[in-house]
Amino acid sequence: MKQNHFGGRSSALGSLGLLAACALGAASGGCRLQLSEHEPAGSGGDRPVDVTTSGDGGATAAAGGAPTANGGVPSTAHGGTANETAQAGSANAGAGPSGGARSTAIYQEDCGNPDPIPNDARERAVDFGGGATLCPTDDSDHDWFYLDTPSDNRAHVIELDITETDASWVVISVTAERDGSNLGSIHPSQRGLKLSAFLTVGPGTRTFFDVRGNVKNSDTTTIKLSDWAEADEHEPNNDRASATLIQPASEVSAQLILPYVSATNQQIQDWYKAELSAGKHTFQMTAVPADLLPKIRVTDSADVVLIGGERGANAGAKFSFTFNADKAGTYYLMVDNVVSKDVLYDGTKADSYSQPYKFQID
């Protein structure tokens, strides 16, 4: 019989329901219930994988990625409110993020018996928690999960560390709750791979994961899930109106991570403003993550462009430039990336997910 491992968030009624189900199943081969703590995900993930992303996802396909059968068409289904108990097997899938701490429990099932929790559709999705051990028997067997991010005004990185066996091969499709848009698919290129995939989403979002078999499977796939917020005290500052005030001659440390919320809400730019004296000023980019190629735009209080897009020679390169302030006043700086950032990709964790860019104006 498949097993379902839950953490302390399950209600007392849900726990009794699981115990009752276990008792009924004992006559046909036994059952065990176990609480499983989430282990930190490893870095891993340098094996090949195909990642296909749709045009509305703000991302491009990873090298070698083949399109999935759905062709990147956005999902339009929206789940309704559902019972949060373990018996119902759903977790209010259509209600959006609650803002509280999410579960770190591991969802676990076995290949030998039907799924005791019916999470075979988006409206019955369950909290992904710390991950899952799954056995989607074929491409018609779906397991739906969701992950909520808190409303903390910061972008979040979600990491999936996937371990298959020689008898397991899955596809994971990712969609945004806000508009049903398709963020892409994680599609390992063969059986038995160990790999990591990453996606970045905005604050206060719910992201759905549809795990299905790529072919007939007779063994399990393990997915470890972790997420973290960008280390950027200047957020929210993704547009001119929310520009963060900074001080001249003081180093600014921030991160540039794509905060995907929907197809029309994924602003990656960071905006700053500074009170500058009239005369010559120097902008210095003093630290750049290896995968970033920042470009800088400088405007005055009337939005007249002084610097249109200064950049380094290549990704990870430091650079500097000078500009002239005609008069004392408020000046605005926009930090963007020359190349569009992927919302979903596979492989090694991007340097910009853990390392800041740094600059100052003198």
245 plus 221 within the same structural domain: no
**Least confident stretch, 84-93, 95-104, 283-292:** 84-93
pTM of the model: 0.74
pLDDT band at 94 (very low <50, low <70, confident <90, very high): very low
From 183, 207, 229, give the residue that closes a domain.
229
Cα(232)–Cα(98) distance, integer angstroms: 23
Query: Which CATH number fits the domain that encloses residue 66?
Result: 2.60.120.380
Contacts of 91 (CB under 8 A, 6+ apart): 82, 84, 125, 126, 127, 146
Please determine, for residue 259, whether its predicted confidence score (pLDDT) is greater than 80: yes
Residue 78 confidence (pLDDT): 34
Is 5 among the domain residues?
no
pLDDT band at 102 (very low <50, low <70, confident <90, very high): low
Q: Which amino acid is at 183?
A: L
pLDDT band at 103 (very low <50, low <70, confident <90, very high): confident
35 plus 123 within the same structural domain: yes
Contacts of 302 (CB under 8 A, 6+ apart): none
78 plus 187 within the same structural domain: yes
Per cent of the chain over pLDDT 90 is 67
pLDDT band at 45 (very low <50, low <70, confident <90, very high): very low
Residue 111 confidence (pLDDT): 87
Please determine, for residue 359, whether its predicted confidence score (pLDDT) is greater than 50: yes
245 plus 356 within the same structural domain: yes
From 229, 264, 282, give the residue that closes a domain.
229
133 plus 162 within the same structural domain: yes
161 plus 25 within the same structural domain: yes
Contacts of 69 (CB under 8 A, 6+ apart): none
Domain that holds residue 131: 12-229
190 plus 267 within the same structural domain: no
Mean pLDDT of all residues belonging to the chain: 79
114 plus 256 within the same structural domain: no
Residue 97 confidence (pLDDT): 55
Please determine, for residue 281, whether its predicted confidence score (pLDDT) is greater than 60: yes
125 plus 174 within the same structural domain: yes
193 plus 255 within the same structural domain: no
Q: How many domains does the chain have?
A: 2
Cα(221)–Cα(117) distance, integer angstroms: 17
Encode pLDDT of 107-149 as tens digits. Answer: 888 888 757 688 999 999 999 999 999 999 999 999 999 999 9
From 229, 249, 280, give the residue that closes a domain.
229
Encode pLDDT of 54-91 as tens digits. Answer: 334 333 333 333 333 333 333 333 333 333 333 333 33
194 plus 251 within the same structural domain: no
Q: Which amino acid is at 68?
A: T
72 plus 187 within the same structural domain: yes
Q: Which residue would you say has higher pLDDT here, 71 or 317?
A: 317
Are β-strands 305-311 and 156-163 bridged in parallel, bridged antiparallel, or unpaired?
unpaired
Radius of gyration of the chain (CA): 23
